[in-house]
């Protein structure tokens, strides 16, 4: 960990605060625009879902009724395919709706923590601490901008995460689009060490592999807090388990070996193995480890190590849909206030799917409202920042003015935020919008009324004395 202290003079702070006024105004304007858009989006989505709930009919997916062409329908059942999906780079093939490859690299991650303190004379001191932890990540973490040297990450990954969807996927007589196939789930872990007699179960010993494997305990750095530790081969009886690449999932999953499998010289005893085929075009070392592959030494995890795991969406996959019938496909239904296309794992009724979509719509609305109000508050604080900085020249005055600007920013946030929300609702829902507008105006007027009462109280006291 390293600590850096930056000191800013009172004059520089004052100049920067005045420059920030325009930024504060822009933040407030954008936040108000987003709040207004969100209310319109929420109301339109609510009405569209209600329209679908009234006119949609539930149908049997096994037959297509031409009378429902262009109309919203609800259907559910088993999504299936006869296709075999393959990962050609690793020679994995099985009958499934989608095969997903997940590639993670062990990398450095930089975390910063900044503490701001006031100094005498209105200055400001920022103390920033930089800490580093090791994490598994599917994305490359750019270490070129790290503050502290000696925490370098690789610039490329030998392989990348990728999905391999089936081409012909159906729900009864209906065909699914690529987007609908990509949304199917949940995923099932693909275990490279599974035996054909237990395709969906826990890893089983294959061939003449021992029931357990004893290897030296790993000598690896202690993981930082909240860091995922690499499984220890000493505790994982599946580590380095031998496997026959071309004889997996022999029952329901129709696994075969890709021609490229011969290029994958897999190590099953911990020794290094080479393969020329990878995204970066350089040689890598592959080991069978756990449920997938490992590049590096699993017993001594180092920066740049890679773990590769696979998962798939099995067929059949129970799924429910709500959408517009278009030939033998389902497309978004164009309601009066927006389009609706719902897809949910499992078998669900029309009412359940509409209710779930309404809850999701409300959750999104409240998240956007909270973010909008927060940024309005921040924007007003930035606009009023020069008052606080100027007062900081006098000891304790800045804190008093700062508290006052917080109160003003809070009241201004309620006025602007609730006012924007209420205007969006007044046209559609007057009984909701009008009370919100009253609260918003009250939030703006309250500070002045309170201040007026204090002045009257002080005047009365002086006259009494």
Amino acid 404: pLDDT? 79
**183 has a pLDDT exceeding 80:** yes
Q: Quick one: pLDDT band at residue 56, thresholds 50, 70, 90?
A: very high
pTM (predicted TM-score)? 0.69
- Does residue 336 carry a pLDDT above 80? yes
Q: Which of 117-126, 225-234, 311-320 shows the lowest mean pLDDT across its residues? A: 225-234
Task: Please report which confidence band the pLDDT of residue 182 belongs to, taking 50, 70 and 90 as the band edges.
Answer: very high
Q: Are 451 and 412 in contact (CB under 8 A)?
A: no
18 versus 83: the higher-pLDDT residue is: 83
Which residue in this structure is represented by tokens 């719902």? 342
pLDDT at residue 110 is higher than 80: yes
pLDDT at position 230: 42
Is residue 155 very low, low, confident or very high in pLDDT (cuts 50, 70, 90)? very high
Q: Which residue has the higher pLDDT, 11 or 164?
A: 164
Indicate whether 460 pLDDT > 60: no
Residue 348 pLDDT: 97
Query: Percent of the chain at pLDDT above 90?
Result: 47
Q: What is the pLDDT of residue 259?
A: 34
Q: Is residue 245's pLDDT more than 50?
A: no
Q: Is the pLDDT of residue 179 over 90?
A: yes
What proportion of the chain, given as a percentage, has pLDDT over 70?
64
Contacts of 129 (CB under 8 A, 6+ apart): 1, 2, 3, 4, 112, 113, 114
Which contacts (CB < 8 Å, 24+ apart) does range 89-92 have?
89/159, 89/260, 89/277, 89/278, 90/258, 90/260, 90/261, 90/264, 90/293, 90/308, 90/310, 91/245, 91/257, 91/258, 91/259, 91/260, 91/261, 91/264, 92/190, 92/255, 92/258, 92/310
- pLDDT at position 221, please? 42
pLDDT at 370: 94
Summarize pLDDT for 400-409 with one digit per residue, the tens. Answer: 777 778 888 8
Q: Kindly tell me if the per-residue pLDDT of 218 is higher than 90.
A: no
Most confident of 109-118, 206-215, 302-311, 392-401: 302-311
Tell which wins on pLDDT, 229 or 258: 229
What's the rounded Cα separation, in Å, for the pair 106 and 119? 41
| Residue whose structure tokens are 């393959």 | 86
Cα(192)–Cα(177) distance, integer angstroms? 29
* Mean pLDDT value of segment 26-45: 92
Which residue matches tokens 């969906």? Answer: 200
Give me the helices (H) in 315-429, please: 350-391, 397-426
- Which comes out higher in pLDDT, residue 174 or 288? 174
The residue that leads in pLDDT, 230 or 340, is 340
Q: How high is the pLDDT of residue 124?
A: 65
Token pair 């409240």: residue: 366
435 against 54, higher pLDDT: 54
Average predicted confidence (pLDDT) for the chain: 76
Buried b (16+ CB within 10 A) or exposed e, 43-62: bbbbebbebbbeebeebebe
Q: Decide which of 203 and 420 is more confident.
A: 420
Length in residues, the chain: 465
What is the distance between the alpha carbons of residues 322 and 320, in angstroms, rounded to a whole number?
A: 7
Q: What is the pLDDT of residue 226?
A: 44
pLDDT at 439: 66
**Cα–Cα distance measured from residue 300 to residue 292, given in angstroms and rounded to the nearest whole number:** 17
First to last CA, the chain: 63
Residue written as token pair 């209420």: 422
Is residue 63 scored above 50 in pLDDT?
yes
């Amino acid at each position: 960990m390293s600590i850096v202290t930056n000191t800013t003079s009172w004059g520089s702070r004052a100049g920067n605060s005045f420059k920030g006024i325009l930024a504060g105004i822009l933040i407030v304007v954008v936040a108000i625009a987003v709040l207004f858009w969100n209310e319109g989006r929420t109301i339109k989505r609510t009405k569209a879902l209600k329209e679908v709930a009234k006119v949609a009919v539930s149908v049997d997916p096994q037959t297509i009724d031409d009378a429902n062409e262009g109309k919203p329908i609800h259907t559910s059942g088993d999504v299936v395919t006869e296709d075999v999906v393959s990962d050609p780079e690793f020679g994995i093939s099985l009958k499934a709706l989608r095969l997903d490859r997940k590639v993670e690299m062990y990398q450095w991650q930089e975390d910063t923590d900044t503490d701001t303190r006031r100094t005498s004379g209105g200055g400001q001191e920022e103390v920033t601490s930089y800490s580093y932890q090791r994490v598994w990540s599917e994305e490359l973490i750019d270490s070129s901008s790290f503050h502290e040297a000696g925490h370098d990450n690789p610039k490329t990954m030998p392989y990348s995460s990728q999905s391999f969807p089936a081409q012909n996927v159906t729900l009864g007589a209906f065909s699914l689009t690529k987007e609908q196939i990509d949304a199917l789930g949940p995923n099932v872990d693909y275990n490279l060490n599974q035996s054909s007699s237990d395709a969906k179960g826990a890893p089983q010993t294959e061939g003449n592999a021992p029931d357990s494997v004893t290897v030296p305990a790993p000598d690896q750095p202690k993981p930082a807090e909240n860091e995922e530790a690499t499984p220890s081969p000493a505790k994982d009886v599946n580590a380095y388990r031998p496997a026959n690449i071309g004889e997996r999932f022999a029952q329901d999953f129709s696994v075969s070996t890709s021609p490229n499998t011969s290029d994958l010289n897999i190590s099953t005893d911990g020794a290094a193995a080479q393969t020329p085929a990878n995204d970066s075009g350089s040689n890598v070392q592959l080991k069978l480890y756990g449920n997938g592959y490992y590049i590096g030494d699993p017993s001594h995890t180092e920066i740049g190590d890679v773990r590769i795991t696979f998962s798939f969406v099995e067929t059949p996959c129970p799924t429910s849909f709500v959408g517009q019938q278009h030939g033998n496909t389902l497309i978004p239904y164009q309601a009066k206030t927006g389009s609706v296309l719902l897809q949910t794992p499992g078998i669900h009724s029309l009412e359940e799917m509409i209710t779930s979509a309404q809850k999701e719509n409300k959750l999104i609305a409240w998240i956007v409202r909270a973010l909008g109000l927060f940024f309005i508050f921040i924007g007003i604080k930035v606009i009023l920042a020069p008052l606080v900085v100027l007062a900081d020249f006098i000891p304790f005055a800045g804190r008093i003015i700062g508290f006052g600007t917080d109160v003003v920013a809070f009241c201004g946030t309620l006025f602007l935020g609730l006012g924007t929300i209420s205007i969006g609702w007044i046209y559609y829902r007057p009984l909701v919008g009008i009370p919100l507008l009253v609260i918003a105006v009250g939030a703006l007027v309250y500070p002045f009324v309170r201040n007026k009462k204090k002045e009257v109280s002080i005047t009365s006291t002086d006259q009494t004395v």
